[in-house]
Amino acid sequence: MKKVLILIILFAICTGLAAQSTSSKSSTNTSPFLFEKGNTSVKFGGFVRFVTLADFGGVVPNFDFVSSTMPAPGEWDKEHRLSMDASATRLNLKVVQKTESLGDVEFYIETDFRGAADVLRLRQAYISFKGFTFGQAWSLMTDFAANTTLIDIQGVNSRTFFRTPLISYKANLDENLSFGASLEFPRVKATIQANSGIRAVNQTFPDIPLYLQYKGKRGHIKLAGLLRAMDYGINSTEKIKTELGAGAQLSWSLKLDEKFTLVSQSIYGKGVARYINDLAALNLDLAPAQGSKLQSLPMYGLSLGMRADFSKKLFATSNYSIAGLTNKDDYYSAGEYFKGNYFSASLFYAGIKNMTIAGEYIHGYRKNMNSTWGSANRLQVMFMYSW
């Protein structure tokens, strides 16, 4: 509790100092690194991001709060933790070239320091024009407008949140209606038991997400679907088998007034663990079935969030989310993950130009197939300077 108290005091002091700053003018982030010549513009952007956090009443063993990775039941030596992290600091380069044949051609590269041993890693790298995107970018199932701002980068446990190599196309049908479809790199994480006679193999069929979205003055609604064909090998016959996966996702945002916004995202399907934060951290795209084969399990995720804008410089967000498997009938181990939930409450202050200071509380819960459970709490403070 002493660590928690230190973080509370630290956030209060820093927010107070920021509020008194005479340099406070605007919360809009502008970059001094923008260069334009002829038909080409080049912008270098990014931010330095530092977070200090304290886990108590249980520990999540990484910087992102992923409920499914916490010990369940809890362990006596993993009840508290104090940590600090600057690895989410990012650098990006955006180049836009105006052409006669293709219109605006955009080249974008983004990195952070979350590779092994804090080395630089690639987040995004793509080329886009005429609605097409080629490269590594956000999956088309990701919907940022249906999620609130958090210090926790991974976000709520039911969220779809990942980048992948893809070929995608997006287009507007009219002023409010748009659609998109893509071929995305098929990464499959399967639970394969020792001596099962099953092996992981190369995938041969891309994930295919598509969506239809309506966007109005007070919010948006997005309906997305997904088809997967996941391959695995049988050692005894040296044959490749394919298990199908499919899912549907509904996400939306609604601005109730100038100061209050609601957001939500829900997903249901079989073999779509990659598209649900909590389940993506586990090998649940395919799981063991009776006999020498794997199966795609039914699973779900649901979240509801809110944002309250107290002023142009100060806002708060809160979220509640659940995710898990729908039944225990066909699973292989009673001690494995069944479901989990996630609650957050955050406060953000952006009263100094290009600077954001924030504080956040998170509670997570994990329940196993045999009803054993674990939970954890986190209090964290963030300082971020963007350019």
Residue 190: strand pairing partners: 286
Number of domains in the chain: 1
CATH of the domain at 69: 2.40.160.10
Average pLDDT of the residues of the chain: 91
Q: Which two tokens stand for residue 308?
A: 């309250």
Give the Cα separation of 14 and 142 in Å (integer): 33
Q: 251-264 pLDDT, tens per residue?
A: 999 999 999 999 99
Token pair for 185: 């790199």
The residue among 223, 221, 239, 222 whose CA lies nearest residue 231 is: 239
Range of the domain at 27: 2-386
58 φψ region: left (φ > 0), alpha (ψ -120 to 50), beta (else): left
**% of residues, the chain, pLDDT over 70:** 91
Length of the chain: 387
As a whole number of angstroms, the distance between CA 387 and CA 373 comes to 43
How is the chain split among helix, strand and coil, in percent rounded to 5?
Answer: 10, 55, 35
Q: For residue range 75-108, list pLDDT tens digits in order.
A: 888 899 999 999 999 999 999 999 999 999 999 9
Q: 172-180: long-range contacts (C-beta < 8 A, 24 or more apart)?
A: 176/214, 176/215, 176/216, 177/212, 177/213, 177/214, 177/215, 178/212, 178/213, 178/215, 179/210, 179/211, 179/212, 179/213, 180/140, 180/210, 180/211, 180/213
Q: pLDDT tens per residue, the chain (387 residues)?
A: 555 454 444 444 444 444 444 333 334 445 568 999 999 999 999 999 999 999 999 999 999 999 999 999 988 888 999 999 999 999 999 999 999 999 999 999 999 999 988 889 999 999 999 999 999 999 999 999 999 999 999 999 999 999 999 999 999 999 999 999 999 999 998 988 888 889 999 999 999 999 999 999 999 999 999 999 999 999 999 999 999 999 999 999 999 999 999 999 999 999 999 999 999 999 899 988 877 789 999 999 999 999 999 999 999 999 999 999 998 876 667 678 999 999 999 999 998 999 999 999 999 999 999 999 999 999 999 999 999
